[in-house]
Amino acid sequence: MEKRRSRKPAKKRKSFWRGPWGIIIFMTALFLVLSIGGCSALYVAGNQMIDESKLELKETSKVYASDGKTEIARLGTDDRQLVTFDKIPKHVVDAFIATEDNRFYEHNGIDPIGIGRAVVKDIISRSKAEGASTITQQLARNIFLSHDKTFMRKTKEIMIAMNLERKYSKPQIMEMYLNAFYAGKGRVGIQAASKYYFGKSVEQLSLEEGATLAALPKAPNTYNPVAHPDNSLKRRNLVLSLMEKNGFITAEQKEQAQKKPLKVQDNLPSNSRVSEEYRAYIDYLTDEAERRDITEDQLYYGGYKIITYMDSKAQKAMFEEYKKDRNFPGGTDPKVQSAMVIMETKTGGITAMVGGRDYVTKGLNRAEMKVQPGSTIKPLIDYAPALEKGWTPYTMVKDEKKTYRKYQNWTPRNYGNEGYAGSITMNKAVVESRNAAAVWTLNEVGLSTGVSYLKKFGITPEPEEENYLSLALGGMQKGATPIQMAQAYSAFANNGKMNKAHVIKQIISRDGGVIIPEEKNETQVVSPQTAYYMTEMLQNAVREGTGRKARFGHPLAGKTGTQQYDSKKVSRGTRYAWFVGYTPDYVGSIYMGYDVTNDKYHLRTTGGAEPAALFSKVMAKAMEDKERKDFERPEGVKTAEPPVSLPSIGDLSATVDETGQSVNINWGGTKDNRVKYRLYRFLGSPAEKEMIAETGSSGYTDAFDSSKMYTYVVVPYNAETGEEGNMSNMATITVPEPQSDEQTDPNQSTDPNNPNPDDPNNPGQLTDPNNPNLEDPNNPNQSTDPNNSNTTDPNQQNPGQVNPNDQNEQGTDGGIIPPRQNNERTGRGNGNGNGRNASGEGSTP
C-alpha cells in the first residue's frame, strides 16, 4: 500500500508588485518617464505647490527699549536671523555642500544617483523612503512640506525642488537653505546658530566652527554641541574629512582643524524667548500690534526692529519689588494680586508694566483688567467737571449727611463712618477724601456732566451705571484698568491733554522702512487751568492727606482709592486698594486685591498703605537718575486765590501824637489786598457813628480836637463783593501825659517808699515836702497812682479811663501808653469784636 504523503499548506504568494523587484521596476519606470518627457508635467505640478510668500523667509523680530539700542526680547518660539549669501564665508558653504549635497552645483534639484542609492537602502531596510535629498529638496521640505517620510511627500519634494531650480540661482537657493534649516535649541538658520553656540556673527566663523554647524541639519539634537559634545565632535571631524575628500580643503587644513577642541561660548543665551520680567509688556505689545493690523505671526517673524517706550531701569525696579512678598498685604495662598504701570505723561508711552504677581506668558494681564477704582475716580468725575464750570480749589462744598431721594434714597457716608465736616473747601475735601463732599459736588455739577467727562478721560461705565450717583465714589460693576487710570491722570500733568496709552514707539522693517511711525494721539480733555488746579489739590493730598506714603523725593500729585467690602460677616473690609500719582513727566497707577473677594479673602488695608508705599519704592528706583522737576503753572493761568477772609479786629487803638494835633488810629489788618476797611467815629452812641475814611491800610490819622474825645470803630469789608465783616472793638482817644523835664539824680532810688536807701537817717518813710504826690501814711485819701493825684476824688478822671456813670461810654484800656510812631499799634482797646473768621482751610501755597 502506497503511503500518502502529508501535504503542507501552500504559502500565500506575495504580490510581485509589492515586493522589492516591483518597487525597483516602479521607480525605474518613474525615472524613465522623467527622463523621456515628464519633466514639464512635474514642473507644472511643482509650481502649483509653491506658495511664493513662504519663500520670504521668516526672521525673528527683536524688541528694543526706548533708546533703540537695548534689546529686551526676541519674539516667537524660534530665533531666526537672516543673513545674505555674500556674508557667509566660503568654507562654511563648502562644509554644508560636502556634508549634505556634494553634487549641488551639478544637478537641477534632484540627484538620480542619490535617489537610486536611497531606494536601495529603503528596499534593504524595508522602510519608508529616506535619505540622500539634495539641498534643494531639503529646502523644499523645510519651507513647503511636512517632515513625514512617505512616498507621496518625496514625490512632492522632487517636483518643488525642480521648480525652485528653474526659478532661482544656486547662490539664492543656498542662501534660502542656510537661513531655513533648524539648528537646535530654538535656533533657525546659520546666523542664529552661530550667535547662539559661538557668540559671533557668521562672518567670523572658523573652519572647525563652520564644520560643527554643518553637522546639525542631519540631527540637530543628536549632534548638538551643547547637549551632546562627544557626538558633535565626531560629526564635526567627519565633516572636515568630507571637505578634504571633495577637495574643499587640504589634508593639512583638515588635520589642524580636527586637532582643535570643541568649544562653545560660556554664557549661552536663555532659551526663553521672553524673560519673565518682560512677559506682560510683550503680551500687551502683541495685542497692540494686532489692533494696528499686524498679525502675531507677522510681528514675531517679520524680522522687525520694534522700538518700545520701555525704560529698562524702571521695568527692572518694578519687577524686583513685585517679587518681594513683604510689599503686599495678606498671605501667599492665594496671593493678593496686583498690577502696576508707569507711563510718560507727554506721549502716553508705557515705560514699565507688571501684569500680576508670578505672571505667565499669555496669562491674565491685570494691567488690562477692570476693577472698581474707589476714590481715585473722584478727580475725574466729581472735581474736574466742577473746575471746568468755574469752581476753584477754594470753592466751598458741603460735607454733610444728606439723603438723595432721586437716587434710591441713598445716604453716602465718609470712609470708616467718620463724621461730617460741614462746609469745607474743595481742596480740603480732596485732601481728606471726603465721600459726602464728593457726592454733593457731583450732584451739584450734574451726574450726566460728570459721566461725559469720565468718558473723555477714557473710562466708560456700563449704560445702567450712568444713572447711579454712586459713580461719584467709584461704584461700578467692572471699573477701570490700571492703564486707563494712568492714562486719565496723565491729562492733569499735561495741561489737560491726554495721550492714548501705548507701548510701540516705532516698527522698522528688515530693509529699513518704517512700518509704524512714532505718533501722538492727543485729546484736550480739560482746560490747562483745570489741570493745574487739580494738580495743586492732588499735591496737597500727597503732602498732607491720604497719599503721604507715596512720596519719594520728587514733586508728586496723586490720589488714593479704597473700594470697601462689606457683608453680613465682614465690616469695613477692602475689595481693592489703589494709588494713582504723577510727576510732571511720569504717571504711575497701582492696585492691589484678590482676584475673587469674599468673606475669607479680602483686604484689611487702604490705598494709602501698601499701594502707596510700593508706588514710592518703585518710583524712587525708576527715577533716581531723572531730573527733579516742579509742576509749572501754565501760561495765562492765574493762581487760585483762597476766599476772602475778613479779619476779626480786636486791637483798635486811638492815640494823640506828640504834637497834640493828630490822633493816630491803628489796628491789626491782613495782607490780602482784597480786604478794605471803613473807619467810623462817634461821641455818644455807636448808632450815631459817622464814616470818616475807607482805606486799604491798617492805620489812619485823624485831626485832634480836645473838646471832642471821639470813640472809633473799624469795619473790614470785601472790596470785590462789598460784604462787611464784624465791627472791631471801640477805642476812645488816649492822651499821653507830658514827660517831666527835671533831671533825675542817678543816685536817687526809684523806690517810691525809699528815695534814698543809703541815708542812715532815712527810716524808709517819704517826707519830701516838695513832692505832694509822695505817699503820706497819715493821709488816707492820698493816691498811690503816680499818674493820678487823687483817685478818691469822684470828679477827677483819668483821660484814658471810662466814666462808669456814663451809660453811653464803652470800656477801653485804662492805662496810658506812651506815644509811638504812626501806624504802630498803641493803646489796645479791650472791647469784644466777635469777628468772623472765614479763612479757607487747606489753602494751596
Catalytic residue ranges: 100, 375
DSSP element (H, E) containing 705: none
Q: How far apart are CA 265 and CA 750, in angstroms?
A: 102
**Could you tell me whether strands 62-64 and 305-308 are parallel, antiparallel, or unpaired per DSSP bridges?**
parallel
The grid coordinates listed for 726 are: 464784624
% helix, strand, coil for the chain, step of 5: 35, 15, 50
Among residues 169, 187, 166, 188, the alpha carbon closest in space to that of 178 is found at 188
* Residue 516 CB contacts under 8 Å (≥ 6 apart), including other chains: 292, 294, 504, 506, 507
Biggest alpha carbon distance in the chain? 197
* Distance from C-alpha of 444 to C-alpha of 785, rounded to nearest angstrom: 66
Phi, psi angles (nearest 5°) of residue 143: -100, -40
Query: Measuring CA to CA, how many Å separate 142 from each of 136, 157, 178, 303, 428?
Result: 10, 10, 11, 19, 70
* Distance from C-alpha of 241 to C-alpha of 803, rounded to nearest angstrom: 132
What distance in Å separates the CA atoms of residue 390 and residue 560, rounded to the nearest whole number? Answer: 25
Residue pair 308/66 in contact by the 8 Å Cβ criterion: yes
**Close Cβ partners of 760 (under 8 Å, ≥ 6 residues apart):** none
| Cα(758)–Cα(721) distance, integer angstroms | 69
* Distance from C-alpha of 764 to C-alpha of 767, rounded to nearest angstrom: 9
Query: Where are the alpha helices (H) located in 494-554, listed in sequence order?
Result: 528-544
| Phi and psi at residue 497, to the nearest 5° | -100, 135
Alpha carbons within 13 angstroms on the beta-carbon side of residue 462 total 12
CB 593 within 8 A of CB 497: no
Question: What's 77's DSSP letter?
Answer: S
Give the three-state DSSP class for 580: strand
> What is the distance of C-alpha 720 from the center of its chain?
42
Q: Is the peptide bond before 746 cis (omega within 30 degrees of 0)?
A: no
| Three-class SS state of 706 | coil
Integer Cα distance of 798 and 816 in angstroms: 9
Helix-helix angle 207-214:190-198, to 10 degrees: 120
- The 10 Å Cβ neighbour count of residue 13 is 7
Rounded CA separation 365/152 (Å): 46
Q: Return the axis-axis angle of helices 20-33 and 112-125, rounded to nearest 10°.
A: 160
CA dist 587 and 350 (Å) reads 9
- The H or E element that residue 427 is part of is helix 426-431
Element holding 577 (H helix, E strand)? strand 573-582
DSSP assignment of 449-511 equals HHHHHHHHTT----GGGGG-GGGGGT--SS-B-HHHHHHHHHHHHTTTEEE--BSEEEEE-TT
- Spatial separation of the C-alpha atoms in residues 360 and 364, rounded to whole Å: 8
Cell of 256: 589642524
Look up residue 318 and give its three cell numbers: 518694578
Minimal CA–CA distance to 507: which of 495, 516, 499, 518? 516
For cell 580643503, the residue is: 249
**C-alpha closest to that of 522 among 285, 345, 352:** 345
**Vertex 273 angle, CA 269 and 278, to 5°:** 105
